[in-house]
Amino acid sequence: MIQAANRAGPAIAFVLFGVLCISLNDMLIKQLSSGYPLHQIVFFRALIAIMVSCVFLQFEGGWAALRTDQPLLHIARGVLVVIANMSYFVALAVLPLADATALFFAAPLFITLLSIPILGEKVGPLRLGAVLVGFIGVVIMQRPWEPSESLEVSRLVLLLPVLSALAYALNQLMTRKLGIKAPASMLSIYIQATFLIVSIGFFFVAGDGRFAEGSTNGSVQFLLRAWVWPAREDWWVLIGMGVNGALIGYCLSQAYRLADAATVAPFEYVGLPLAVMWGVIIFAELPTWEVWTGIALILSSGLFVFFRERAKAKRITKRAVPRPH
Write out pLDDT tens, residues 230-247.
988 899 999 998 888 888
Q: For residue 33, give every residue at least 6 positions away whose Cβ sits within 8 Å of its Cβ, in sequence order, or none.
A: 89, 92, 93, 218, 222
DSSP 200: H
In a 10 Å sphere around its CB, with 0-12 CB exposed, 13-18 middle and 19+ buried, how is residue 318 labelled? exposed
Contact between 74 and 188 under an 8 Å Cβ cutoff? The reply is no
Q: Which of 121, 100, 220, 104 shows the shortest CA–CA distance to 162?
A: 104
Q: For residue 311, give every residue at least 6 positions away whose Cβ sits within 8 Å of its Cβ, in sequence order, or none.
A: none
How many angstroms separate the CA atoms of 222 and 231, rounded? 17
How many angstroms separate the CA atoms of 188 and 210, rounded? 33
Q: What does the pLDDT read at residue 161? A: 93
Distance of CA 270 to the CA centre of its chain: 12
> Where does 93-183 have alpha helices with state H?
97-104, 107-119, 125-142, 155-178
How many angstroms separate the CA atoms of 164 and 39, rounded? 16
Count other C-beta atoms under 10 Å from residue 20's C-beta: 17
The counts of H helices and E strands in the chain are 13, 0
- From residue 243, alpha-carbon distances to 21, 48, 53, 179 in Å are 10, 6, 9, 22
pLDDT digits (tens, 9 = 90+) for 156-175: 889 999 999 999 888 878 76
Q: What does the pLDDT read at residue 320? A: 47
DSSP 272: H
How many angstroms separate the CA atoms of 218 and 92, rounded? 10
Residue 56, amino acid: F
Helix axes 107-119, 125-142, angle to 10 degrees: 140
How many angstroms separate the CA atoms of 67 and 250, rounded? 18
Q: Which of 322, 323, 310, 297 shows the shortest CA–CA distance to 12?
A: 310
Count other C-beta atoms under 10 Å from residue 312's C-beta: 16
How many angstroms separate the CA atoms of 168 and 15, rounded? 14
DSSP 94: T
Q: What does the pLDDT read at residue 5? A: 52
Helix (H) or strand (E) run with residue 232 in it: helix 232-258
Residues listed for the chain: 325
Point out the residues of the chain with pLDDT beneath 70.
1-6, 175-181, 261-262, 306, 309-325
